[in-house]
Amino acid sequence: MDNKNEVIFECRKCEHNLFAESIDLKLIDRISKMNCPNCGEDAERNWILVGLGDSETQENEYNWR
Ligand SMILES: [Zn+2]
């Protein structure tokens, strides 16, 4: 299993990270409508795409299925 190519999004307000397993328009659409699970910030224009990562080695920040 190779999970080194997950897309990481970051909350503008609290810098909470979300990991998405693949780049998929439906998934990105869902994330764009998701309020931050950490600080509750409204989803609209909140998520910043910060890059690629690995939720296994960055497990403490993992908050996405
Ligand atoms: Zn947040």
- Six-digit token string for 63: 């908050």
Strand partners of residue 11:
47
CA of 33 to the centre of ligand 1 (A): 13
| Confidence at 60, pLDDT banded by 50, 70, 90 | low
Q: What confidence tens digit (pLDDT) does each residue in 14-55 have?
A: 999 888 887 788 988 899 999 999 999 999 999 999 998 887
CA of 1 to the centre of ligand 1 (A): 29
Please answer whether residues 40 and 14 qualify as being in contact, where contact means their C-beta atoms are separated by less than 8 angstroms. no
Q: What residues make up the domain containing 50?
A: 6-61
CA of 46 to the centre of ligand 1 (A): 8
**Whole-prediction pTM:** 0.77
Residues in the chain: 65
Q: Residue 65 pLDDT more than 70?
A: no
CA of 36 to the centre of ligand 1 (A): 5
Would you say residue 1 lies in a domain?
no
* CATH code at position 48: 2.20.28
Instruction: Look at residue 11 and give its three-state secondary structure.
Output: strand
Count structural domains, the chain: 1
- Six-digit token string for 39: 């600080």
CA of 31 to the centre of ligand 1 (A): 13
Selected residue with higher pLDDT from 57 and 53: 53
Query: What does the alpha-carbon distance between residue 33 and residue 59 come to, in Å, rounded to a whole number?
Result: 23
| Confidence at 61, pLDDT banded by 50, 70, 90 | low
